[in-house]
Amino acid sequence: MLGVSTPDTGTVAINGRVAGLLELGVGFHPEFTGRENAVISCQLLGLAPEEIPPLVEEIKEFSELHEYFDEPMRTYSTGMAMRLAFSSSTVVRPEILVVDEALAVGDAYFQHKSMARIRRFREAGTTLFLVSHDPTAIKNLCDRAIILEDGVMIRDGRPDEVLDYYQAMVNRRKKDEEIRQFQGDGVVTTRSGDARMEISAIQVLDMDGKPGRVFKTGETARIRQTITCNDPDVRPNVGIMIRDRLGNHIYGTNTHLKKVAIHDRFEVGAQFHVDFDVQLLLGGGSYNVSVAVVDDALHSSHLDLIDQAVVFQVMPDGVPDFAGLTPLPASLSYGLGPGTVEEPERQTATQAADKVAAGD
């Protein structure tokens, strides 16, 4: 797509300006200053001479190199060089942006800043083509994902569905394990494992034991897994993972982490259930639960793993004073500064509300 290499077969049609973030810093000269390398980068983008000076100043501002911008690049740390390279490559919004494993740019602060710029590009209409092994980046930046294996596309779909399948592939350890995807509960569910222990039922219940799919913020949900034993020699470790609608991990735990011992040996065909009571300190929205049973002796060996097994909703009723993912415990206070005629004592938001209610 970028013209770096020639395809063995086929063609690629490009409509619009294309830019690429491949190996950041390719073409930079260590003896040139950051400013000089930024000018060269702009020239390589095909910009007219009169366009370059103001863009170089934008590169300096975005990279935050300050006085180092006019120092030779041989004096830069790796992170500083990456800041300059990213800032130079993205100073002009392209119609198509190709990113190949090049988002680990500098420290955490600059990574957030870089991701925000790429998101703005997307919102402005840029087509993003991202090659990555970072599931968080794919979920947050992409509308579509594919898996390539040995040059063959083996999966194509929504990022959360494709990444679930990819994770199942990674977790597969035995040749007879089968990966299955099916539509259910409004989402595509992915299931994998060798079925020596099998999750035969999944329920989301309220604390009265009744099925529930809608909860208020702060209410407790009971996630119940019913498991059937197909191998008496397995020591099961049962777990859950709650994700938001973008696939970000919200909370996960298992019986091993909770130090809950499960019966040492079950007969073939025996069933047992495990309940996870979770207080849903979550903002309003849709969430899904993945469930799994692994061999406690071999944590990497999945017996049964069901991604996006069940979906539930959280309504922020009764907790209206926050925005975001979770209602963190927080208090608010205020007070007038010195120089006022009469400085009142500091009061909390609750105290202030009580005074208003009393007519004070």
Query: What are the residue ranges spanned by the domains of the chain?
Result: 18-131, 179-315, 333-360
Cα dihedral sign, 183-186-192-195: negative
Share of the chain above pLDDT 90, in %: 33
Contact by Cβ (8 Å): 237, 255: yes
Q: Tell me: pLDDT of 24 over 80.
A: no
Which CATH code fits 179-315?
2.70.50.60
Q: Which residue has the higher pLDDT, 147 or 350?
A: 147
Tell me if 311 sits within 8 A of 353, measured CB to CB. Answer: no
**355: pLDDT strictly greater than 60:** no
Going by C-alpha positions, the residue among 133, 82, 135, 139 that lies closest to residue 109 is 82
Q: Given this model, what pLDDT does residue 320 score?
A: 72
What is the pTM (predicted TM-score) of this model?
0.55
Cα distance between residue 231 and residue 198, in whole Å: 10
pLDDT tens digits for 72-87? Answer: 999 998 888 888 988 8
Are 62 and 105 in contact by the 8 Å Cβ rule? The answer is no
235 versus 26: the higher-pLDDT residue is 235
How far, in Å, CA of 32 to CA of 29, rounded?
A: 5
Domain 18-131: assigned CATH number: 3.40.50.300
